Amino acid sequence: MTALRAPFTIPALRQAVFCVIGVVSAVAILAAPALVPALGALVLWATGGTSRQLAPAVAPLFLVLFPLTVALLVVLAAPIGRAAGNVHRRLAYRLLGVRVDAPPPRPSNRIGALVADGPGWRAVGYGLLKVPLAVPQGYGAFCYLFGVVDLSYPLWWPLFRNHPPGTRLGPVWALTPFGPLGARTFAGTFLISAAGLAMLLVAPWLMRAGTAADLAAMRWLLGPRRLAERVRELQASRARAIDDAATMMRRLERDLHDGAQVRLATLAMNLGMATEKLGAEGPPPDLAQARELVALAHRGAKEALVDLRDLVRGIHPPVLDNGLGDALATLATGSAVPVGTTVDLPERPAPAIETIAYFCAAELLANATKHSRASRVDLGVAGSGERLRLTVVDDGVGGADPEGPGLTGLTRRIAVVDGRMRVHSPAGGPTRVEIDLPTHA
Amino acid sequence: MRVVIAEDAAMMREGLVRLLTDRGFEVCAAVADAETLRSAVAAFEPDVAVVDIRMPPTHTDEGLRAAIDVRRDHPGVGVLVFSQYVETRYATRLLADRPTGVGYLLKDRVADVADFVDALTRVASGGTALDPEVVGHLMRAGRDTVGLASLTAREREVLSLMAEGRSNAGIAAALVITPGVVEKHVANIFAKLGLPPSEGDNRRVLAVLRHLGT
């Protein structure tokens, strides 16, 4: 029964759509290699190479332009592969309900990174594999579509074959995988109809085989890197996390040593001196100096408190306990540049993520204040499901360098939780930095 | 008494200058790094130098290294190393060649002005001043040895104060007992630890520190 029902289910229909798109993509991919000679011909034609009188400049020009075209294709292959891979992953999710995780993003948009983009080239590999994969898919889709058509032949027969008796007509042809089948009589259409039914029953299995192979290829070539690479990546990010923690502890020690500790030692010294000036009993031997020393100590105590408060805030801002919204609002009020904040979080992210997002926002805000000459900064946090996006936009002069020490520091920090950062900062501004974090590390 | 101060935190440096000037010391120079300290000591040949351990440029132990150099190159200059934390290893390095005219104190000690000035004077005149913290470490490290285990609580207190570099009179004042009682305790301690009786505070400190394993 299941086998009989299989062709008439929604999944079968979706599979058919997937298979048809697969065939179209395969044809497009097959056409792509033709692009190189076509572009070459175009160049030749544009430079006048096809005219009878060859201009003396044509040959060298062609020699330069043709390799350039090939080089362009090499540079563009990986990004195009990535884009096409994205489309196919989305199709797999929409039509087949199978989620294939996205590969890690390209580290940067420089030419070197474009060409050396491993996931991009693997996506190109998927594109090439798509051609043989499309064969069973196309076969399945063909059986499915023409199965329906062939099955319905007896219905159409009376509509078109109502000529007066004795009229001689050619046979009606139907397409089957075994070649065209002709029918001259109403009874003959039932043979076609039977063939159609057989095709329809076989089609879901063919399509299933085609899509299953395709999905395996997607997981292999379009998914995140292979396990070994992922392990290397995790090792690197773990090493960075340990380094960062050690650096932070060292910085903390230094800050305490040079800040609060010195202030408190000096304060104790001043109080010690003041105590001596006040004497053990009786009238103080040097009241004026004692007063001065106490005043000094008082000031020192207040400074030590400020130092400690700044330090504590640097470790973990207490307001963060109330959530990212309050913390960012506090951060905004403390900024020299006007800051607008919008926080849209359906639920609270993990505390570690909140802390990372907060410090990223603080750092980016400090950058904007220091370097961008911005007159306004907008901080935005939006959450959707498992991801959280922090956006910092300023109207300053732009030119922020994603490879600079500040931003690479942030990248390192967020990489620990598989976060990603995108920087758009053309010279002249504005600057837009987006940071993508998981809501739970 | 003439003093050179090396301390990189300006606040602390100024406070020390004020305190020592107030107490009748002559502050020849107050510098902020180890290199300037070396030249200041060479230029002024003070009675004592107060040296912070962590100073620019590396903020690690340049003060300690400068202190060791000063002790080697200028045997007449007492060196009081002054730090926000004490490391037994640093004390060992500092006391390595001879435990005379040397001190190692926590910065906190400056809060008790009289004690601090007393320690500085002791170091300037060739004595020793070891921070109670360092002595405490040493005592704890050696607590299981036969000698230390056989001491009474009072004797251990006396031993600690001896190791800090105090004289009998100083110990008597600290424990509020008579110098005669202190002498008796000291004799007992030397007998129990099997140390040869030594005359003079310095040789006594040396003996005690040797015993404690410095």
Of A348 and A175, which is predicted with more confidence? A348
Q: Which of A254, A272, A276 sits opposite B110 (nearest CB)?
A: A272
CATH 3.40.50.2300 range(s) for chain B read: 2-130, 135-212
B114 to A257: CB separation less than 8 angstroms, yes or no: no
What DSSP string describes chain B?
A: -EEEEE-S-HHHHHHHHHHHHHTT-EEEEEESSHHHHHHHHHHH--SEEEEESS-TTTSSSHHHHHHHHHHHH-TTSEEEEEESS--HHHHHHHHSS--SSEEEEEGGGGGSHHHHHHHHHHHHTT-EEE-HHHHHHHHHHTTTSHHHHTS-HHHHHHHHHHHHT--HHHHHHHHT--HHHHHHHHHHHHHHHTPPP--SHHHHHHHHHHHHT-
Q: Is B32 on the interface with A (CB under 8 A)?
A: no
The percentage of residues in chain A with a pLDDT greater than 70, rounded to a whole number, is 91
The domain covering A321-438 belongs, at the CATH homologous superfamily level, to: Histidine kinase-like ATPase, C-terminal domain (3.30.565.10)
Which residues does chain A have within 8 Å of residue B131's beta carbon, measured at their own beta carbons?
A: none
CA distance A311 to A351: 20
- Under the banding of pLDDT at 50, 70 and 90, the label for residue A52 is low
Give the best residue of B22, B59, B131 to mutate against chain A (max A CB count within 10 A). B22
State the smallest CA–CA distance between residue B111 and chain A in angstroms. 4
Chain B positions in Cβ-Cβ contact with residue A300 (cut-off 8 Å): 11
Looking at the complex, report in whole angstroms how far the Cα of residue B56 sits from the nearest Cα belonging to chain A: 12
User: Would you say residue A72 has pLDDT above 70?
Assistant: yes
Of B9, B84, B113, the CB nearest to A273: B113
Name which residue leads in pLDDT, A33 or A423: A423
Residue A2 has pLDDT above 70, yes or no: no
Residues B16-43 have a mean pLDDT of 94
pLDDT of residue A54: 57
How would residue A49 be classed by pLDDT, with cut points 50, 70 and 90?
A: low
Instruction: State the average pLDDT for chain A.
Output: 83
Helix (H, G, I), strand (E, B) or coil at A23: helix
Q: What is the CATH number of domain B135-212?
A: 3.40.50.2300
Tens digits of residue pLDDT in B171-206: 999 999 999 999 999 888 888 888 877 767 677 787
| Chain B touched by A299 (CB under 8 Å) | no
Give backbone dihedrals phi and psi of A124, rounded to 5 degrees, phi first.
Answer: -60, -40
Asked if pLDDT for residue A123 goes beyond 90, the answer is no
- The whole-number average pLDDT for the span B1-28 is 93
Q: Is B111 on the interface with A (CB under 8 A)?
A: yes
- Residue A276: list chain B partners with CB under 8 A: 113-114
Count CB pairs under 8 A between chains A and B: 46
Residue A385 main-chain phi, psi, to 5 deg: 60, -115
Query: Quick check: B9 contacting A, CB < 8 Å?
Result: yes
Dihedral of CA atoms A75, A77, A82, A88 in degrees, nearest 10, equals 170
The answer on pLDDT for A56 being more than 70 is no
| Fold classified for B2-130 | Rossmann fold (3.40.50)
Residue A416 vs residue B71, higher pLDDT: B71
Look at the pTM and tell me if it is higher than 0.90.
no
With 60 as the cut, is the pLDDT of residue B214 above it?
no
Contacts of B16 in chain A (CB under 8 A): 269
* CB atoms A265 and B108 under 8 Å: yes
Q: Look up residue A94 and give its DSSP letter.
A: I
**Residue B19 to residue A269, Cβ atoms within 8 A:** yes
Among A258, A272, A273, beta carbon nearest to B9: A258
Please write the tens of the pLDDT for every residue from A377-418.
Answer: 999 999 887 889 999 999 988 888 888 888 888 888 888 888
Q: Which tops the pLDDT comparison, A170 or A207?
A: A207
Query: Who contacts B189 (Cβ-Cβ below 8 Å, separation ≥6)?
Result: B151, B155, B158, B159, B162, B195
Least confident of A3-12, A235-244, A261-270: A3-12
Map out the domains of chain A as residue ranges.
2-221, 229-255, 259-315, 321-438
Whether the CB of B120 is below 8 Å from some CB of chain A: the reply is: no
* Nearest-CA distance B127 → chain A (Å): 23
The three-state secondary structure class of A180 is strand
ipTM: 0.84
